[in-house]
Structure 1
């Protein structure tokens, strides 16, 4: 089987997986579509399995295709790591592929990446965003070098490096907060809980705390970003549980208030790495840089 495989086949396979289309994959790679088709056919012959279902609008991977994805990412990553090792110099060069929640990137990681790139301008970053399970999946499938999650996934295939413990708070408009002060938490039963959706760990935390405090709200609204959630809260659409750091400016400027639903809500963020992942030199440097930055912060 190994004699039939070429690295470019795996690069094409990953492009088709990401684009969900042979045509878009060919545009992304700069190939004609027949070349993409040929590469996938070569892989299918080598694997002895059909890798994609052809649909009316694009393609989707078969079960065999999903199995191959993990190895394809590893193969391409190994090739890039080898190339970088052969060209290693005093100035690190290469791409670091990360996955994390959008709110963590906005509030914490963007400044660290900016600082790191000032020192190492030849290093590039490729970012994926998703919820807790999305990030875990990216790491376990070797889609990224490492991810950042708000809780230890406690999995045998993943190593967790704790970074910081972050406080979470419930926020609400002044009008809703005033109603809670006057009439108690029962007024929240008629209000909407705003979150990133059921897949978000903050949503799970919020539901658990609401249940513990006797709030039985049945309304939930999903938003794609933390900025939309904050604006919706400010408009009085509902209330939300978010990292305190993400609300500090608005709290200081009086755009909304915190709710006394629970005190001491914390989440321990950390870096997760697939235990079988051989990080390239820039990724090793950035991982150490991030952990050292938060270690210094704790002192």
Structure 2
């Protein structure tokens, strides 16, 4: 089987997986579509399995395709790591693949990436965003070098490096906050809880706390970004549990307020790395840079 495999087949396979289309994959890779089709057919012949279902609006991987994805990412990653290792330049170069929640990137990671790239401009970043389980899947399937999650997944195949404790707070409009302060938490029974959706760990935290305080909301609203959630809260659409750091500017400017719900809600964020992943040199440097940055921040606060 291995005699029939080539690295470009795996690169094509990953492109089709990501684009969910042979045509879009060919545009991404700069191939004609027949080349993409030929690569997938040769890969299917080598594996002895059908790798994609052809649908009217694209393709989706078969069970065999999903199994192959993990090895395809590892194969391509190994090739890139070897290429970088053979590079004689003293200036680190290459691509670092990361996965994390959108709000963590906006509030925490963007500034660190900017600082890192100032010192190492030849290093590029490719970012995937998703919820807790999405990030875990990206790391376990070797889609990314490492991910950042709001708690230790507790899995044997992943290494968890704690970074910081993130404080979470409930936010609401001035009007809703005043009603709660006057009439109590029962007011929230008639309000909507806003979150990123059921897959988000913040949503789980919020439901647990509300249940403990006897609050039964009238429903839930899902928004895809932290900015939309804050705008919705400001407009009085509902209330939400978000990282305190993401609300500091708006709280200071009086756009909304913090609800008088239990305080001291923390989530321990950390880096997760697949035990079988050999990080390339830039990824090793950036992981150490991130951990050192938060270690220094913690020591400074102490």
Length-normalised TM-score, structure 1: 0.99
Aligned length: 297
SS of match in other structure, 1:155: coil
1:89 positional shift: 2.6
Partner secondary structure for residue 106 of structure 1: helix
Distance 2:217 2:237 in 1: 14
Deviation at 1:266, TM superposition (A): 0.2
SS in 1 for 2:217: coil
How much has 1:90 moved relative to structure 2?
A: 1.7
CA-to-aligned-CA distance 1:143-202 (integer Å, 9 cap, x gap): 000000000000010000000001000000000000000000000000000000000000
1:38 counterpart residue number: 38
What is the SS of the residue equivalent to 2:31? coil
**Residue aligning to 1:193:** 193
Paired residue for 2:226?
Answer: 226
TM-superposed CA distance for 1:261, in Å, is: 1.2
State how far apart, in whole Å, the 2-side matches of 1:150 and 1:293 are: 17
- Structure 1 segments, 4+ long, off by >4 Å, are none
**Alpha-carbon distance, 1:243 to partner:** 0.2
Partner of 2:300: none
* C-alpha displacement of 1:260: 1.3
Q: Deviations over 1:78-118 (max 9, x none)?
A: 00000000004321000000000000000000000000000
SS across alignment from 1:124: strand
Q: CA deviation at 1:263?
A: 1.2
Question: Distance in 1 between the 2:67 and 2:10 partners?
Answer: 13
Inter-partner Cα distance in structure 2 for 1:255 and 1:272:
35
Partner-residue secondary structure (3-state), 1:271: strand
Following the alignment from structure 1 to structure 2, what is the Cα–Cα distance between the partners of residues 164 and 260? 24
SS at match of 2:273: strand
**3-state SS, counterpart of residue 50 of structure 1:** coil
SS at match of 2:125: strand
Q: Find the aligned partners of 1:252 and 1:218 in 2 and give their Cα distance.
A: 29
- The alpha carbon displacement at 1:218 in A equals 3.6
CA RMSD of aligned residues (A): 0.5
In the alignment, what sits opposite 1:55? 55
1:208 aligns with 2:199: no
Deviation at 1:234, TM superposition (A): 0.4
Q: Distance in 1 between matches of 2:110 and 2:163?
A: 15
1:215 is paired with a residue whose SS is: coil
Query: How far apart, CA to CA, are the structure 1 residues paired with 2:102 and 2:167?
Result: 17
TM-score under structure 2 length normalisation: 0.98
Output one character per residue of 1:28-76: Cα deviation in whole Å (capped at 9) or x when no partner: 0000111000000000000000000000110000000000000000000
- SS of aligned partner of 1:295: helix
In the superposition, relative to structure 1, how do residues 88 and 138 fare at CA in structure 2: closer, same or farther (>3 Å)? farther
Distance 2:215 2:98 in 1: 37
* 2: CA distance, partners of 1:218 / 1:269: 30
